[in-house]
A and B are shown apart, each in its own frame.
Chain A
Amino acid sequence: MFDLAIIGAGPAGMAAAVEARALGLSVLVVDEQPAPGGQVFRAVEAAHGDAVLGAEYSAGLGLVESFRRSGATFRPGTTLWHLDPDAGELSLTPGGPAQARRVLLATGAQERPVPIAGWTLPGVMGMGAAQIMLKTAGAVPAGRVVLAGQGPLLWLLAVQLKRAGAAPVLVLETTPKGRLGAAFRAGGWFRGRALLLKGLGLLREARGLAVVRAVTGLRAEGAGRVQRVAWDGGSAACDTLLLHEGVVPATQVPLALGLEHAWDAAQQCWRPVVDDYGAASHDRVAVAGDGAGIGGWQAAVAAGQLAALDAAHRLGRLTAAGLAQRAAPVRRMHAEALALRPFLDALYAPSAAVLAPVDDQVMVCRCEEVTAGQVRAAARLGAQGPNQAKTFLRTGMGACQGRMCGATVARLIAEIRGVAPETVAPLRPRAPYKPLTVGQLAGL
Chain B
Amino acid sequence: MYATRPEARPATVEVFVDGVAVMVPAGASAAAAVLLAGAAAIRETSISGAPRLPYCMMGVCFDCLAEVDGAPNVQACMVAVAPGMRISRQRGARHV
Interface residues of A (CB under 8 A from B): 32-34, 39, 43, 46-47, 50, 52, 110-111, 119-120, 122-126, 128-129, 132-133, 136-143, 164, 166, 224-225, 239-240, 250, 366-369, 398-400, 403-404, 434-435, 437
A154 to B56 Cα, complex, angstroms: 15
6 pairs of residues in contact across A and B, judged by CB atoms under 8 Å: A46-B9, A125-B54, A125-B55, A139-B36, A143-B1, A239-B1
| B60 and A132 within 8 A (CB) | no
A125 to B65 Cα, complex, angstroms: 15
| A128 and B32 within 8 A (CB) | no
Given contact pairs A43-B27, A139-B2, A139-B28, A52 touches B56 in the complex (Cβ within 8 A): no
Chain B residues within 8 Å of A123, by CB: 1, 53
Given contact pairs A39-B58, A398-B62, A137 touches B27 in the complex (Cβ within 8 A): yes
Given contact pairs A43-B27, A137-B9, A122 touches B32 in the complex (Cβ within 8 A): no
For chain B, residues 1 to 16, give those with C-beta under 8 angstroms from any C-beta of chain A: 1-5, 8-9
Q: What is the minimal beta-carbon distance from B56 to any residue of chain A, in angstroms? A: 5
Chain B residues within 8 Å of A125, by CB: 53-57
Interface residues of B (CB under 8 A from A): 1-5, 8-9, 24-29, 32, 35-36, 40-41, 45, 47-48, 50-63, 65, 73, 77-78, 80
Smallest CB-CB separation from A394: which chain B residue? B47
Q: What is the minimal beta-carbon distance from B90 to any residue of chain A, in angstroms? A: 10
A50 to B4 Cα, complex, angstroms: 13
| B50 and A128 within 8 A (CB) | no
A137-B9, A366-B63, A403-B60 known; 17 other A-B pairs, CB under 8 Å? A32-B78, A50-B8, A111-B60, A122-B52, A122-B53, A125-B57, A132-B77, A136-B29, A136-B32, A137-B36, A142-B3, A367-B45, A369-B45, A399-B65, A400-B61, A403-B62, A434-B59
A124 to B62 Cα, complex, angstroms: 14
Chain B residues within 8 Å of A367, by CB: 45, 62
Given contact pairs A122-B40, A128-B58, A400-B60, A139 touches B35 in the complex (Cβ within 8 A): yes
